[in-house]
Amino acid sequence: MSRHKTAKGVQDGHRARKRFGQNFLVDPGVIDRILSAIPEQEPVVEIGPGLGALTLPLARRNGRLVAIELDRDVIRHLQVKLDAEGLGRQVRLIPQDALRLDIEALAEAEQIERPLTVVGNLPYNIATALISRLLEQGESIEQMVFMVQKEVAKRLAAVPNDSAYGRLSVLTTMRAEVEHLFDVPPEAFNPPPKVDSSIIRITPRAEPLVPPAEQAGFERLVTAAFAQRRKTLRNNLKPLMSASTIEASGIDPSLRAQALDIPAFLTLARQLGPAD
């Protein structure tokens, strides 16, 4: 396969840039598995298309595609490939930082119907921040199919009492359902990353598990509860409430945060006073 014939870090004449977290997917079998996880429908928004490993087959199969890419050199290379394949008019390449992506504004500007599907091989250094931002816009998104670092995937999909369960797990589950689809080894990329990756599907909930008006207090409580994972609720929540308040809420203050589900966290959050 092409990854054995291409110089490390170089793909289609473009050298991967560490500052953009670039690792280009080159394994055809993995690409096919990812495609099978993405619905055959328009519209699709791709984040970080790179050199088109998913972009080209998605455009051929699904039709119109909007791709968000920060690296203008990558955009230039990808546009050449799209034009050569006769796909230049089907794919709209937008030079933008994905962390500033406004789905509603994008949909209006590109005349895309919502809710839409968002896909991509996310740079490891922005994956959690980007997913959190997109979940805040969940009403415009049908589903997200992303490749992320395996450890991040575990945290996103973790449930109470899992070792990976933490603040990210709770705040993600509050807004969405997360499904781990499959893992991807380093050798599927050029250059190979130093970690394993995973493909996940994130489906925003029609209604979040915490009412919008209570989410700020809920996040404040959850952040404090996981401040030091080995400490109990009694210790971590001491700045916010007493052990007797925790106990009066029907929750054992000697538990650690990783034992609590969302309803339990919400019960505690409702004991908080106004934020300073």
31-70: per-residue pLDDT in tens?
999 999 999 987 799 999 999 999 999 999 998 999 999 9
242-254: per-residue pLDDT in tens?
999 999 999 999 9
Is residue 195 over pLDDT 80?
yes
181-192: per-residue pLDDT in tens?
999 999 999 889
- pLDDT interval class at 3 (50, 70, 90): very low
Is residue 127 over pLDDT 80?
yes
Q: What ranges do the domains of the chain cover?
A: 2-204, 212-269
Is residue 20 over pLDDT 60?
no
Domain 2-204 part of CATH 3.40.50.720 = no
Q: What's residue 274's pLDDT?
A: 62
Domains 2-204 and 212-269 share a fold: no
Q: What's residue 15's pLDDT?
A: 47
Class at the top of the CATH hierarchy for domain 212-269: mainly alpha
- Does the predicted model carry a pTM greater than 0.75? yes
Phi, psi of 153 (to 5 degrees): -60, -40
Is residue 197 over pLDDT 80?
yes
